[in-house]
Structure 1
């Protein structure tokens, strides 16, 4: 595994980020906690490998004293892009004076639950039926998720950030 650098997205990243969002979410729109987001309008960090290749992206929003990770996706698993992006998002949160880093994932996303909990995020809420409601806004959301797990609920994960703590 080589080094991963993270930087704010630039216009030259548009095609790579758009292709990643198409692969992961079926396009630039995600529906989470009853809100439809256009990922193209959110601040985005990109991960670049040591050869200069695009390795992933994280779209976020700063609101209510926290940084919400709205989308995190890597081009390949277990190469460090997700970890580097999450650490960079924490640095952005701390610089903005945010006291928490948080996100929402779905009940079927066992890989994400493992990934985030290993990085100190904890499940703080379950919104039963949230994905069923989201399907009304975005009908392309499947009924079966990873491992053929019925897709119904959102799980909120969060890590509190200590003032002055570095990622």
Structure 2
């Protein structure tokens, strides 16, 4: 993986249409459950990295509650180029600016690339929620049933990093 690109512009995202479209395509919903709260990425803060042409390179949706920030979605549209690292760094900086002391992310049990990515960035496992996705799917039935390498999705793993 290369160094994070510096030719991208970081902006606050107010029109979340593209983010919701990506979430629906990859997850089946634009809502995420973290720390027993449901967050709709259409309704919380979002940041994006954009090419000079205006094309989207990465999007992230996050929010803060008390001294904890929650990363609800992070999508790189340029995999392997370090864009996700730069996007995560921007979320961490924004979370620190709110006074958050930690940042949490939730992954499904199939997301091996995500587990590697976050742990390499300093995140630690902080929770395992058995059958959480099965339960959440009863509320949002469109959530995908299989993910990375056709692994059945049932459980949620929580990771966090001190800020």
**How high is the TM-score relative to the length of structure 1?**
0.85
Query: 2:158 maps to what in 1?
Result: 156
Q: Which moved more, 1:87-96 or 1:1-10?
A: 1-10
Q: What root-mean-square deviation, in Å, do the aligned CA atoms of Structure 1 and Structure 2 show? A: 1.9
State the alpha-carbon separation in 2 of the partners of residues 26 and 142 from structure 1: 6
Query: 1:4 maps to what in 2?
Result: 8
1:137–1:124 Cα change, 3 Å: same
Give the secondary structure class of the aligned counterpart of 1:85. helix
Deviation digits for residues 51-86 of structure 1, max 9, x if unmatched? Answer: 432112111110131110011112231122211111
1:30–1:79 Cα change, 3 Å: same
1:96–1:84 Cα change, 3 Å: same
State the alpha-carbon separation in 1 of the partners of residues 25 and 104 from structure 2: 23
Query: 1:134 maps to what in 2?
Result: 136
Q: Which moved more, 1:43-52 or 1:55-64?
A: 43-52
Query: 2:51 maps to what in 1?
Result: 49
Corresponding pairs, count: 159
State the alpha-carbon separation in 2 of the partners of residues 151 and 32 from structure 1: 16
Deviation at 1:50, TM superposition (A): 4.5
**How high is the TM-score relative to the length of structure 2?**
0.86
Deviation at 1:125, TM superposition (A): 1.1
Q: Which moved more, 1:14-23 or 1:59-68?
A: 14-23
Query: Are the equivalent residues in 2 in contact too, given 1:130–1:154 (CA < 8 A)?
Result: yes
State the alpha-carbon separation in 2 of the partners of residues 36 and 4 from structure 1: 31
Runs of 5+ in structure 1 lacking a partner?
162-167
Query: 2:72 maps to what in 1?
Result: 70
Q: How does 1:27-38 map to 2 (within 5 A)?
A: 27-38=29-40
Runs of 5+ in structure 2 lacking a partner?
none
Query: 1:147 maps to what in 2?
Result: 149
Q: Which moved more, 1:81-90 or 1:137-146?
A: 137-146
Query: Are the equivalent residues in 2 in contact too, given 1:31–1:138 (CA < 8 A)?
Result: no
